[in-house]
Structure 1
Amino acid sequence: MFKGHPKGLYVAFFANMGERFGFYTMMGVLVYYLTAKYGLSGTNAGIIYSVFYGLIYGLALVGGLVADRTKNYKGVIMVGMITMLAGYVLMSIPGFGLIFTLVALFTIAFGNGLFKGNLQAVVGQLYDEPKYSHLRDSAFSVFYMGINVGALYAPHAASGIIRWFIEKQGYQRNDLLPSLIHKFQEGSLNATESVDFQMLADKVSGHSVADLTAFATDYLSAYGTGFNYAFAAAGVTMVFSFVVYMIFKGMLPDVKKAEESGEPVVEMSKEETKQRMTALFLVFGVVIFFWMAFHQNGLTMSLFARDYTVQEVGPDANLFFNVWSLTAIIIGFFGFLTLIKKEASSMSKIIGAFVTIGGVGAAYYMYTTFAESTPFSPELFQPFNPSFIVILTPIILGIFAWLNKRGKEPSAPRKIGMGMVITAIAFTILLIGSLGLEPFKDLTPESSRVGVGWLIGTYFTMTIAELFLSPMGISFVSKVSPPKYQGLMQGGWLGATALGNQMLWVGSYLYERVAIWQVWSVFIILTLIAAGFIFSVMKKLEKVSS
């Protein structure tokens, strides 16, 4: 996948991968942390999650503006990484209140605003050279894959660290207990909840609990501190990214030095600049609705995993929930791709065959050791999206390359529109799986739960949509942006993401008030409307990107 690309892509790939590992380690458990540690409702946790996610991307406008004005893209990226690391350090300190956590989250968001959009702009600058320009779309797909390699293992790391710490304190992890503990401490448990509380307290302690007051304090402290340890792990991966970036940043282009050395600066007419900016803002307006829908994976879909999905899986499903067997499957898959690749040498094919057999064999061996039923934490649904990204990226790149050779590859704007339609299909799968489920307000511990296949199928379909839309959108922005606004327009793309994230709370608000299938229907309607709009302005978008 890296063949023919400039070396700077490697630097951006690995710097971004480590940062995203840390980011998704935190994001995979943030809602659970807010509801468990501080007793927030799903709605209030959703508002904080939504505002934070909005700031993560909205502040990229500030970062882009600073970088465009100073032309010091690489310096702004460095400051952003240091700021994010400071935020993770704050998040890892246990014992503080909600305000302290909000300050830490803002620090991370501000650092991310300086980092994310400008790194994308620098990747785009690598492909401003004519000899690399034809690789721009595939470059952003590879870059995007790096994001998701980091995201793939992050929730497993977070879940493992949290479980390890709670067990070290002599308890088992149970995600239903924190809300019952908060009600117990408030004196608002009803008779049924009191029975459930005693039963779960005995279960996680391994013995009958006589002093529920002491248990409640100890368990909540252990549970919350486990999350702080996970946030500390996020900081460690941020250090990895920073070290990689500082050592190898010389491989990335430096616009400021190029201008100081007298290299010619590309200028566009006001008319062309206006046409390009108009096209960009049309795309920004559409993707707001994609991100509003897509990022429900960390909010309402996470709540659905906790409240409506079975909490144990059999050996077949556990192949994908167990991080080691999942890794073996992915390794075997890439070995198989090497084996069937036409351009691969005989030695590469032999290595590919051994890797395929080794990966499949390791996965099968682990399968034989799995119990008939294995409990899992709801955040372990989070790795499905990045794992599908890692698997599907080379397949979709291959399909696009095949279409390109035949002159039939869709344009980047057309891929964005197709991605919106596929998103609607993804939510339709979840809607069907939610039919007949009780509204959230009527849930009891005995309420029926659905199999994991509904969420996995939704994640799979949504991942295809994401690959059609997100890397293609970033590539479109990189290609169409006027040179003097490169950082700002990458910030604009992320700003559109921010607006979508600001609307995430709509999902959590509806989740607690209407039938679950109705929640998903809202996102189906919104994404189809957005798809209709982008296809209606397709000629204008394709004109500026041709």
Structure 2
Amino acid sequence: MFENQPKGLWALALANTGERFGYYTMLAVFLLYLQANFGFQTGVASTIYSTFLMMVYFLPIIGGIAADKFGFGKMVTTGIFIMFIGYLVLSLPLGKDSVAIAAMGISLILIALGTGLFKGNLQVMVGRLYDEPQFASNRDSGFSLFYMAINIGAMFAPTAAIKIMKWAQMSLGVSEADSYHFAFAVACASLILSIAIYYAFSSTYKHVLANETKAKSDDPAAKAEVKELSQAETKERIVCLCLVFAVVIFFWMAFHQNGNTLTLFARDFTQKTSEGLQSMAFDVTNLVACIFVVYGSFALAQSKTGKGKGIAFGVILAAIAFLFYKYTTLDSHVDIEAPIFQQFNPCYVVALTPVSVALFSWLNKKGKEPTSPEKIGLGMLVAALGFVWMAVCSMGLELPLTQGNAATEGARVSANVLISTYLILTFAELLLSPIGISFVSKVAPPKYAGLMMGLWFGATAIGNQLVMVPGIMWGMNFNLVTIWGVLAGICLVSALFIFSIIKKLNKVS
């Protein structure tokens, strides 16, 4: 799984890990912050949340165009510094008046702009690492590993947000509304780490930037090394990519309910305490131990030396011993904060990536591995299944009564409902997101690489803007089964569309 991967992959992945940790720390509590600090109603808060997500994923189009002209490396570093300023403004406790709202809006614009310059262009650089013949066959697995690495940052984000907020309230005596700013300050620190990694290990990917400069030179021999496509080929590839982008819109509309209606469901309809074995799932260190068991098992199976097998076996035993100790020292119950559920998706991504890579490697050897477009279609089907499960589990629950008002609470369900839903949606994500990014980096015409990656994020942006639709339905007291049913139906129709044009997509992949 880790063999025959370019060294630059790990440098770029870790740089993205730091940035994603800060981003998801902020995102884990952002919707709740809007209601706690400004008193916004659910529909208004959901619209602000989705609009911000839209900007984050729309502006990579601008970032891609800029990178095609000025260079990917320059845009990546510029983006980090702009993001830092945005998070810094957001971390300032400016109150609840119109000035504070305006400052929040400015900070969101800066964060979105910085992300637009950073995110897509960094991933184009990752794709360029696999243009070398010795790495070309590992493009899909490489992007899966890249995706896994950046989710390590997201995995710890909800816990970081909750812990820093509780520390601020208990140690410094700040109010709950003001404690959110401490979570936003974590993002500032994470960007410092991100830029440090990016520069410290630049030697591992500098040839990508060198080739980029070479291709932009006036030397005919240098330009000849860049593969040129005919006008017809270029058009065919762009059309196919745009068809995939159309489907991606609806995946992200559904998937990014994690910070919207799924968080509201956690707050309003999920049990507030947990006990026994289930409670261990809400301690991120236990999840990390489980991940060590998974990776240790793969290392044990794949190691070619006795020493390697011994180390892997030791890691497994240590992780199991840690889990046993934590189980024997459990509290009678643990309190469950709504944002903590957002840790499950990245944890699942990290744990299941080696399983996914191993499965598709095995299918590849048998000549039965699905193509990238087929994986995207399967991802949409799995996403539909996730919301069908939510609809089933929501049957019999009253309409969303609370709207943030604890005095009007209704029935609550087991935390296992959301834990299992995030597992299903993670399977969908692993089939669609890293594979989709790999598909774009492979199929995009070379001279439009930045623009095409930007359009991938542009499609994601539209989907993120549509995230507000279920939130508005929630605020209008739509039945829960209806809300989840709409999302399931959208995913199912998108899957059927992908499979209806699969031959066209496979032709260019």
TM-score by length of 1: 0.88
Shift of 1:307: 0.4
1:540 aligns with 2:494: no
1:17-70: CA deviations, max 9, x gaps? 111001100011100111100001111111011110000010000000000122
Higher Rg of the two aligned structures: 1
Structure 2 counterparts to residues 301-320 of structure 1, below 5 A: 301-320=262-281
Give the ranges of 4+ consecutive aligned residues of structure 1 lying more than 3 Å apart after TM superposition.
441-446
1:88-111: CA deviations, max 9, x gaps? 111111124111111101100000
Q: Which position in structure 2 is the counterpart of 1:272? A: 233
- d(CA) in 2 for partners of 1:509, 1:257: 47
Shift of 1:349: 1.0
Match of 2:2, SS? Answer: coil
Q: Which position in structure 1 is the counterpart of 2:69? A: 69
Q: Which position in structure 2 is the counterpart of 1:174? A: none
1:235 aligns with 2:198: no
Q: Which position in structure 2 is the counterpart of 1:282? A: 243
1:71-98: CA deviations, max 9, x gaps? x110110000111111111111112411
Q: Which position in structure 2 is the counterpart of 1:256? A: 212
Q: Are the equivalent residues in 1 in contact too, given 2:402–2:409 (CA < 8 A)?
A: no
1:430 aligns with 2:408: no
Equivalent residue for 2:148, pick from 145, 148, 154: 145
Letter in 2 for 1:539: K
Q: Are the equivalent residues in 1 in contact too, given 2:402–2:408 (CA < 8 A)?
A: no
- d(CA) in 2 for partners of 1:256, 1:442: 54
1:402-451: CA deviations, max 9, x gaps? 00000000000000000000001011111111111110137754521000
Q: Are the equivalent residues in 1 in contact too, given 2:373–2:506 (CA < 8 A)?
A: yes
Q: Which position in structure 1 is the counterpart of 2:83? A: 84
- d(CA) in 2 for partners of 1:250, 1:106: 32
- d(CA) in 2 for partners of 1:332, 1:344: 19
Letter in 1 for 2:38: Y
Q: Which position in structure 1 is the counterpart of 2:316? A: 356
| Residues 1:454 and 1:281: Cα distance change in structure 2 (over 3 Å) | same
Equivalent residue for 2:471, pick from 505, 508, 523: 508
1:295-344: CA deviations, max 9, x gaps? 00110000000000001001211211012222222223222221222x43
Match of 1:3, SS? Answer: coil
Structure 2 counterparts to residues 56-455 of structure 1, below 5 A: 56-70=56-70, 72-96=71-95, 97-169=100-172, 222-252=175-205, 253-254=208-209, 255-259=211-215, 260=217, 262-263=221-222, 264-341=225-302, 343-441=303-401, 444-455=407-418
- d(CA) in 1 for partners of 2:199, 2:246: 35
- d(CA) in 1 for partners of 2:270, 2:163: 20
Q: Are the equivalent residues in 2 in contact too, given 1:338–1:344 (CA < 8 A)?
A: no
Q: Which position in structure 2 is the counterpart of 1:190? A: none
- d(CA) in 1 for partners of 2:408, 2:288: 33
Letter in 2 for 1:396: S
1:529 aligns with 2:493: yes
Moved more, 30-39 or 441-450: 441-450
- d(CA) in 2 for partners of 1:461, 1:345: 36
Equivalent residue for 1:469, pick from 428, 432, 446: 432
Number of residue equivalences: 493
Letter in 2 for 1:31: L
1:5 aligns with 2:5: yes
| Residues 1:438 and 1:5: Cα distance change in structure 2 (over 3 Å) | same
Stretches of structure 2 that go unaligned for 5 or more consecutive residues are: none
Q: Are the equivalent residues in 1 in contact too, given 2:401–2:408 (CA < 8 A)?
A: no
Match of 1:440, SS? Answer: coil
Q: Are the equivalent residues in 2 in contact too, given 1:290–1:420 (CA < 8 A)?
A: yes
1:485 aligns with 2:488: no
1:166-189: CA deviations, max 9, x gaps? 12255xxxxxxxxxxxxxxxxxxx
- d(CA) in 1 for partners of 2:494, 2:198: 37
Q: Are the equivalent residues in 1 in contact too, given 2:280–2:286 (CA < 8 A)?
A: yes
| Residues 1:309 and 1:272: Cα distance change in structure 2 (over 3 Å) | same
- d(CA) in 2 for partners of 1:344, 1:308: 50
Moved more, 501-510 or 436-445: 436-445
Percent identical: 43
Moved more, 31-40 or 314-323: 314-323
Q: Are the equivalent residues in 2 in contact too, given 1:94–1:224 (CA < 8 A)?
A: no
TM-score by length of 2: 0.95
Shift of 1:521: 0.2
Letter in 2 for 1:250: S
- d(CA) in 1 for partners of 2:402, 2:155: 34
Match of 1:243, SS? Answer: helix
Letter in 1 for 2:7: K
- d(CA) in 2 for partners of 1:32, 1:468: 30
- d(CA) in 2 for partners of 1:329, 1:17: 20
Letter in 1 for 2:507: K
Q: Are the equivalent residues in 1 in contact too, given 2:376–2:436 (CA < 8 A)?
A: yes
Q: Are the equivalent residues in 2 in contact too, given 1:85–1:235 (CA < 8 A)?
A: yes
Q: Are the equivalent residues in 1 in contact too, given 2:386–2:424 (CA < 8 A)?
A: yes
Letter in 2 for 1:77: V
1:352-387: CA deviations, max 9, x gaps? 111111111111111111112111211110010000
Q: Are the equivalent residues in 1 in contact too, given 2:35–2:41 (CA < 8 A)?
A: yes
Moved more, 437-446 or 29-38: 437-446
Match of 1:382, SS? Answer: helix
- d(CA) in 2 for partners of 1:407, 1:110: 43
